[in-house]
Amino acid sequence: MGITDGTQIHGLGIPRHGAGSERGHFQGPFHAVPGLAEGKAAFFRQGSKGQVASAHFRPTGYPEATVPSPFAPPSAALPFPPEFFDNNNGPTGHEEAVMSRLRVRTLKPDEFGKLAVEAGFLGEWPSFAAYERWKRGLGILRIHWASPGKTVYFLGVAKGRDILAAARLSAVPFYERRHWGKEGDRRGEVQDLILRTRDSAPLAKLLEEASIRLRALGIEALGVSAWDSTHWELLENVGLRPYARSVLLVWDTASSLAKSPNEKVRIEPWDLTMGTGILRRIQRSSWGFFIPPESSVQEVLVAWLAGEPVGSVYVNRITGNLDFGVHVVREHWRRRIGTALVEAARRLCLAQGKSRMSVVRVLRALGSFNPHDRRALCFYQATGARLKWEVRGFRYKKRATSISLPPLSSLDCDAAQRKK
C-alpha cells in the first residue's frame, strides 16, 4: 500500500470494525473512507493532544470491497461519527508526515474574496463585497444555503504556499423541518467551496477542521452546500450524502419575457394598510402556507382579476430576488397571471437599475421531480429564466445509501404541459 504522494507505508491500516490484522504503523482503531478518490481510502483518528491524523492511500493488492464500512456510527447527528475522534493513540510518524503537508489556515475575508475571484465563482458580481451583500440579502429565505447565520471563519487548506481548498464556515439556525443535529438550534454550514484539485484529501481536511472548530462552539451538526457538480462527487467520496436540492434561476431584466402576460390582469403594489389577509389567502391557495412579507426590504405586488386578488410576488429591493417565488390562486392557474407578475417584477427591477432578477426554488423531492417542483420549474423556464446554480446540500447520514438525483435537464416540461 502506498501513500498517494509516493511515501511508502509499511503495513495495512485496518479499521476497528475490520478484520483486525495490523502491523507496522497502522495499529489501533482507524476509520476508513473508502473511495475517497479513485481507488483511494482515507483514515482518520485523533491523538491524545487533540490532533487529528489522516492518511490518504491508494490500496494496492487490498481489494476495495474489503475496506470496512466508513462510518458505523451510533449517532446520525454528527458531521463525523464519534469514533472519528475517540482514539487516544497519537498519529504515527508517517501519518504526521502526510498531514503536515496540508495545513489549515484561517483566511482573511479579503484573502478568501481574492480566491473566489480567481476561482471564477463571482461571475456577474462586480466584487466579493457585492457578492457578500447579495448573499446576506438572500438570507431572508432561510434555506439550506442562504440563511442569516454568521460567518465564523474562512478556512483554507494549503500545501506549502498553495491553497488547495477553501470555504466559508458559518453557524446557522436550523431551518430544516427535522433537525439532524444533536440537540441545539444551530448547525454548521460550509459554503462557497473552492477546490483547486481533484484530490479529495484537502476537502476531507477542510471538513475535519470545520467539525473540530464547530465542536469548540458547541455545534455538532455540519452541512455543506455546493453548486459545482465536480464538488458533489468529491463530497460523496468523503462520505457525505445529499439531503437538499435547490435551484437559483435568473432573468436578464433587459430582455422581454418569452410569453405574453394576461392583459386583463392588473398588477398593483401592496402596502401594510391593505392587511396581510389577501396575501395569506393567495399563498394558502397556491402552496398551502403563508410567509408574511418583510416590507422593509420587499416590494409586494398583487395581481387583480375582475376585482379579486389572484396572485402575488415579493420583489427584494436589495437582491432583485423574487423571495419565496410567484404565487397564483389555484383555480386561476394557467391563465398567464403568473407571467403577468413576473413581467411586472422585471419592470420594477429594471427601473431600480438591476440587470438581473432571480428566484430560488428548494425542491421538495430528491429522487424525482414532484408535481409542485415540476410546475414551478417549468413556469420559470417558460417565462425565460435560466439556470444559474443548482445548489445541493450535503450532510452526514447514518444510512449513507446512495440516492440518484435526476438531472434538471431531464425535466420534461412538454410532458408536464400535456398533463396540465
Is residue 187 a contact partner of residue 215, using CB atoms and an 8 Å limit? no
Q: For residue 398, give the amino acid letter.
A: K
Which residues have C-beta within 8 Å of that of residue 148, sequence separation ≥ 6?
136, 139, 140, 142, 172, 173
Is residue 165 a contact partner of residue 206, using CB atoms and an 8 Å limit? yes
> Shortest gap between Cβ of 315 and ligand COA (angstroms)?
14
User: Position of cell 490484522?
Assistant: 21
Q: 201-216 vs 229-237: helix axis angle to the nearest 10?
A: 70
Residue list 330-349, contact with ligand COA (CB under 6 A)? 333-339
Q: Which stretch binds ligand COA (CB under 6 A): 43-51, 62-70, 272-280, 322-330?
A: 322-330
Per-residue binder mask for ligand COA (CB under 6 A), 242-271, x = binder: -----------------x------------
Smaller CB separation from ligand COA, 1 or 337: 337
Per-residue binder mask for ligand COA (CB under 6 A), 286-305, x = binder: xx------------------
**Using CB under 6 A, which of 328, 345, 357, 385 touches ligand COA?**
328
Backbone φ, ψ for residue 292 (5° rounding): -65, 155
> Shortest gap between Cβ of 367 and ligand COA (angstroms)?
19
Per-residue binder mask for ligand COA (CB under 6 A), 28-67, x = binder: ----------------------------------------
Nearest to 257 by CA among 355, 328, 347, 325: 347
Per-residue binder mask for ligand COA (CB under 6 A), 352-381, x = binder: ---------x----------x--xx-xx--
Q: Where on the phi/psi map is residue 369: left (φ > 0), alpha (ψ -120 to 50), or beta?
A: beta
Nearest to 374 by CA among 389, 388, 364, 386: 364
What is the DSSP pairing of strand 222-226 with strand 186-195? parallel
Does 413 participate in binding ligand COA (rule CB under 6 A)? yes
What letter would DSSP give residue 106? E
* # binding residues, ligand COA (CB under 6 A): 24
Q: What is the DSSP string of 376-403?
A: HHHHHHHTT-EEEEEEEEEE--SS----
Q: Which stretch binds ligand COA (CB under 6 A): 44-52, 183-191, 273-281, 324-332?
A: 324-332
Backbone φ, ψ for residue 208 (5° rounding): -60, -45
> Shortest gap between Cβ of 180 and ligand COA (angstroms)?
24
> Shortest gap between Cβ of 361 and ligand COA (angstroms)?
4
Q: Which residues bind ligand COA (CB under 6 A)?
A: 259, 286-287, 325-328, 333-339, 361, 372, 375-376, 378-379, 382, 413, 416-417
